[in-house]
């Protein structure tokens, strides 16, 4: 079993739709959780950290469920510019060991 698993997609949704991704992780001791965004042929960039209480940044909401060991990302009112791959990131057996999921591809259509 991979340490961090994501649905690879692709998710193809119309502009303005709400879309959600989940990501599961295997290490119950993980403490740091992030969502990164990666555009085609570009490097990953931090989208948002995920806090225990959940957090929101504009149209983006991240949630953490420790009991079930998953994190989620919700995008409301999706824009064409949201088309990208979204990478789930969790720290592993040590605090500084950062593990990436395989990514979920999102495509927003006009």
Partner 1 sequence: EAGVVQSPRYKIIEKKQPVAFWCNPISGHNTLYWYLQNLGQGPELLIRYENEEAVDDSQLPKDRFSAERLKGVDSTLKIQPAELGDSAVYLCASSLGGGRSGANVLTFGAGSRLTVL
Classify residue 103 by burial, with Cβ atoms within 10 Å: 0-12, 13-18, 19+: buried
Closer CB to partner 1, residue 80 or residue 98?
98
Tell whether residue 44 is a contact of partner 1 (CB under 8 A).
yes
Which residues are within 8 A (CB) of 35 and not within 5 positions of it... i.e. 6 or more apart?
A: 46, 47, 48, 50, 60, 62, 71, 73, 86, 87, 88, 89
Q: Which CB sits closer to partner 1, 19 or 37?
A: 37
- Does 107 contact partner 1 by CB under 8 A? no
* Among 78, 103, 106, 108, interactor with partner 1 by CB under 8 A: 103
Give the number of residues written for the chain: 110
Does 81 help bind partner 1 (rule: CB under 8 A)? no
Partners of residue 4 on adjacent β-strands: 25
Residues forming contacts to partner 1 in the complex (CB under 8 A) are: 4, 6, 8, 32, 34, 36, 42-46, 49, 87, 89, 91, 94-103
């Amino acid at each position: 079993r991979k340490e961090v698993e994501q649905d690879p997609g692709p998710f193809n949704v119309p502009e303005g739709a709400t879309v959600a991704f989940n990501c599961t992780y295997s290490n119950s001791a993980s403490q740091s959780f992030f969502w990164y965004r990666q555009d085609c042929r570009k490097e990953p960039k931090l989208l948002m950290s995920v806090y225990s209480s959940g957090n929101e940044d504009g149209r983006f909401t991240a949630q953490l469920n420790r009991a079930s060991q998953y994190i989620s990302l919700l995008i409301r009112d999706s824009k064409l510019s949201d088309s990208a791959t979204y990478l789930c990131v969790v720290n592993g057996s040590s605090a500084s060991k950062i593990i990436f999921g395989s990514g979920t591809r999102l495509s927003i259509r006009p």
